Structure 1
Amino acid sequence: MKRLRIERWSGQLLQQQPRRTPSRPCCLRQKQAALYASSTRFSSTHAGASSEDLIFEDGEEFGQQEQQTRYNSPPLEAASSSSKLAALHARLGLSPNLPLQTMARTLVDASADSNLDFNNASLAQLGGSIMSYHVSEWLLCTYPRLPMTILFAAAYAYSGPKTLQLVGKEWGVETAAAPGEEVDPGFLQFSKMQPGQGLPNGVGSVRPDRHGFYRRGMSSRVVYDDEFGDTISKGHEENLPLPTEHAYANFVKAVVGSIYLHSGSAAAKAFVKAHILSRHLQIATLFQFKEPVRELSRLCAREGFEYPVARILSETGRASRHPVYVVGIFSGKDKLGEGQGPSMQEARTRACVHALKAWYLYSPGSDVRVPSDMELRGAREWEAVHIDMGEVIH
């Protein structure tokens, strides 16, 4: 009878076993050289076939996880389960024709995802054009005598980036800390600028007279510049970080563009009128005259009025330290304006400014018809609006 060695058994049991990695069904084969290797040894030191002797037919080792493709924006499937996105859709009172997937796309800026199929660049371009059209036609028909500088300033006040940022925040839209596929689709996603980082400057301008010795007049601003009279830079990459106000502006414009595509032009116009044109703007505060007395005299000469004359209407405290003079500007028997000041010259200047504002702020009424009203069914015959000769050139 063969004698057994207990200490050898205990060494085999107490020896640390190699850790097994989780495996999956996989076909593997050994090399031909390994099949005719030496005979199998019944020893605890034999580790079996080495990793060099194994060929994985699927090209992967045991336990290796597949690397999933990461996206820069949330998938479209996540829009259906986002409560923030559904609440925003209901808060704005949008039509059911506008799906949540399109609403989620309006919240992805081009700086977060450069893919044009998933960002809001195209929708913002369309919505910006529609918004500028409705704002411009309303300003021109409501205030037909506004100078171009005031018209640019008023358009910027209604649909500029700072105003659209306030509109987006009033809608309850919040920004995400960083864009990514794990972000809730109800957050505004864009690449934020770091503190101390300068604004991205475009290389040159699209203007043909971009050289310094050319004069950038008002006529060239109307032809070559954007809807606010600012120069259009070229060579600017859309995926660069941008300020928060521009990201909000692109989002609001994209919402207008999506409404136009899914609900029509009438719904887009009603949306712009309810959220943009309903804001109150004191256009009288935008004026700033350099020579109001001279400009008023040129205006009266152009319109065939009598030469304006300043007359003192009342005064008090002429001999005191704080006198007050009330001066009126008259053209014949018609009073054009009135102003008051601590001196007769100051009161005369303010009266001329008041007369010029009364001329430029002429309005046929807030309910004036605009050209886009003719797109509605059953619209009555169009009546031409008042077209002014333009501002005074002096």
Structure 2
Amino acid sequence: MQTQWQNQRRGITSRRKASTSAAAEQVQQEEALYEPFRADGQAGAVGAGVDSEYESRAELNFPSHRKAIKSAKLAALHARLSLPAKFPLQTLARCLIDPSVDPRSGYNNAPLAILGQELLGYHTTEWLVCKYPRLPMSIIMAAAYGYVGNATLNSIRLEWGVEAVAAPGPEVDAGLLQLKRMTPGNAMAEDGMRRVKDVEQDESGKRYPHKSLSGRIVYNDMFGGTNEFPAFDTKPYPGAPSSTSASSEAAASEPEAEGAEEASFESVPVEEPANEDLNRQPVTLEDASAGFVRALAGALYLHAGSSAVKDFHNDHILSRHLPLHNMFNFTRPTQDLSKLCNLQGWEPPVARLISETGRLSRTPVFVVGVFSGDDKLGEGVGASLNEGRTRAAANALRSWYLYSPMESQICFPSEVEGSQAGKKKWIPQYVDPGEIVA
């Protein structure tokens, strides 16, 4: 039994070595073909028959792909995230290169981050819309920011154990996040929690150039902010919450090695800067971390397919806790509840005192319930009868908006896409008439 296990492990190790050696051999062939960067930083010809415009090349400002396959940090991150064997280390190293280090799209993670941003936003939005069909659009935008916003993705990067460099360069480890850091400022943001000196602002000087909700849906990004990439930290409102990890300690699992396919590395033609300044604008660590996580999702889609991205989204995004009930801020809950009962054909809501204590003391407590006929819609606790009635109406509205169908009735559009054998049969989803406008 022990000999059989050793033979099995020996076969797995040989496949891993063959895959890594094949990738290393291909990288050596590409570097021998292009030879774009030399240690002395001097210009040189790539080979016979190469045009003179390719004779002058800039020096790499980040570790080469040859160093990537030798990085212990990169291999540990690959195993820690349980990435498939078809996901090469060279692509993982590219996901760690921010555009502030090198502006050429063939070397940084900007193209992958654009794809990953759309994928993460798509899976997050479909989960929110199908899971909570009555959520107002403003809450959906705020919840999307809480799940895949810059602050949340920065927390994910920290939980993965990915460290950032103090300054980029070819001598640093390929398993570190490469970015050109922004100089700390002395101006405070609207929420009063961080400094934002030299952070670019919208031309109008406001966070949202389109004030109406319909304008934010059509013209702005998934968070309701300016439709630019890379997206700045445009929170839906000052102090918007971010999702937190469900468990403080996540056990890192080993990647599956059985049936591992050889890692494929698609060569990217060398791009010439052509009078382009390589000194890009610096970025904050939070923005660079968000770009790395998005680029990883985009690269995972290209190498492993949509099912791998959906599993990645379920494991690292939806597994986090986001208090949706804290995002509601009702200004007139009693009027909104009356409007809701009128739209649904229910009896008008009536507030009733359920229990009380200490009415004549300094700290009285009243438990008030809101009823529509014999049905209790909500319950609230307050220091006065009016406060208890208001809290009960607000809780009734939260219960209405946070309605969720049964799990057997929820079917996400991404689960019926493609031609995979295990796709589900489409179930029409519940569509709510819309939010309550009193």
Normalising by the smaller structure, the TM-score range is 0.7 to 0.9
Does structure 1 conserve the Cα–Cα contact (< 8 Å) formed by 2:185 and 2:198?
no
Distance in 2 separating the partners of 1:79 and 1:323? 66
Task: State yes or no: 1:72 paired with 2:61.
Answer: yes
Letter in 2 for 1:304: G
Quote the residue 1:82 is aligned against. Answer: 71
- What residue in structure 2 maps to residue 226 of structure 1? 221
Higher relative contact order (CA 8 A, sep 6+): 2
| C-alpha distance in structure 2 between counterparts of 1:382 and 1:239, whole Å | 47
**Alignment partners' CA distance in 2, 1:135 and 1:384:** 19
| Letter of the 1:227 counterpart | M
Q: Deviations over 1:319-374 (max 9, x none)?
A: 33322222111111211111121211011001101100110110114573211111
**1:186-242 C-alpha deviation (Å, 9 max, x unpaired):** 11011101122723325637x9x95xxxx6111111111111111235999993111
Q: Could you report, residue by residue, the CA deviation over 1:157-214 in whole angstroms, capped at 9, with x for unpaired residues?
A: 1101011001011111100111122221111011101122723325637x9x95xxxx
2:313 corresponding residue in structure 1: 272
The yes-or-no answer on 1:386 pairing with 2:430 is yes
Q: Does 1:339 align with 2:339?
A: no
Secondary structure of 2:376's aligned partner: strand
Cα 1:341–1:244 shift into 2, 3 Å? same
Find the residue that maps to 1:81 and give its secondary structure: coil
Matched, 1:135 2:124: yes
Q: Give the aligned partner of residue 296 of structure 1.
A: 337
Q: 1:203 to 1:283 in 2, by over 3 A?
A: closer
User: In the alignment, which residue of structure 2 is the partner of 1:119?
Assistant: 108
Instruction: Say which one has the larger Rg.
Output: 1
Provide the secondary structure at the position in 1 that maps to 2:144: helix
Deviations 1:33-53 (A, max 9, x none): xxxxxxxxxxxxxxxxxxxxx
SS in 2 for 1:305: coil
Distance 2:356 2:200 in 1: 55
Among the aligned pairs, what percent are the same residue? Answer: 49
Q: Distance in 1 between matches of 2:436 and 2:98?
A: 43
**AA matched with 2:174:** P
Tell me, yes or no, if structure 1 residue 96 matches structure 2 residue 70: no
Q: TM-score scaled by structure 1?
A: 0.78
AA paired with 1:230?
Answer: G
Taking the TM superposition and a 5 Å limit, the aligned residue runs for 1:87-236 are 87-196=76-185, 198-201=197-200, 204=203, 210=209, 216-232=211-227
Segments of 5+ residues of structure 1 without an aligned counterpart are 1-64
In structure 2, what residue type is equivalent to 1:259?
A: L
Rounded Cα–Cα distance in structure 2 between residues aligned with 1:305 and 1:230: 38
1:142 and 1:364 in contact (8 A); partners too:
yes
- SS of the aligned residue for 1:119 comes to coil
Range with greater deviation from structure 2 (149-158 or 248-257): 149-158
Q: Report the CA distance shift for 1:234/1:141 in structure 2 as closer, same or farther (over 3 A).
A: closer
Q: Residue 254 of structure 1: SS of its match in structure 2?
A: helix
Counterparts in 2 of 1:174 and 1:314: CA distance versus 1, 3 Å: same
1:67 deviation in Å? 3.3
Q: Which of 383, 387, 401 does residue 360 from structure 1 map onto? A: 401
Moved more, 364-373 or 303-312: 364-373
In structure 2, the partner of 1:373 is 415
**Partner Cα separation in structure 2 for residue 235 and residue 80 of structure 1:** 28
- Give the whole-Å Cα distance in 1 for the aligned partners of 2:179 and 2:93: 13
CA distance, structure 2, for counterparts of residue 75 and residue 378 of structure 1: 40
Are 1:328 and 1:336, in contact at CA under 8 Å, matched by a contact in 2? yes
Following TM superposition, by how much is the alpha carbon of 1:287 offset from its aligned partner in structure 2, in angstroms?
A: 1.1
Is the CA contact 1:324–1:340 (under 8 Å) kept in the aligned structure 2? yes
Q: 1:228-275 deviations in whole A, cap 9, x for unaligned?
A: 111235999993111111100000000000000000000111011101
TM score, norm. by length of structure 2: 0.70
The CA distance in 2 between the partners of 1:181 and 1:153, in whole Å, is 39
CA–CA distance in 1 between the matches of 2:361 and 2:304? Answer: 68
Q: Aligned AA for 2:200?
A: N
Matched residue SS, 1:350: helix
SS in 1 for 2:69: helix
Q: Per-residue CA shift, 1:14-70, capped at 9, x if unaligned?
A: xxxxxxxxxxxxxxxxxxxxxxxxxxxxxxxxxxxxxxxxxxxxxxxxxxx883652
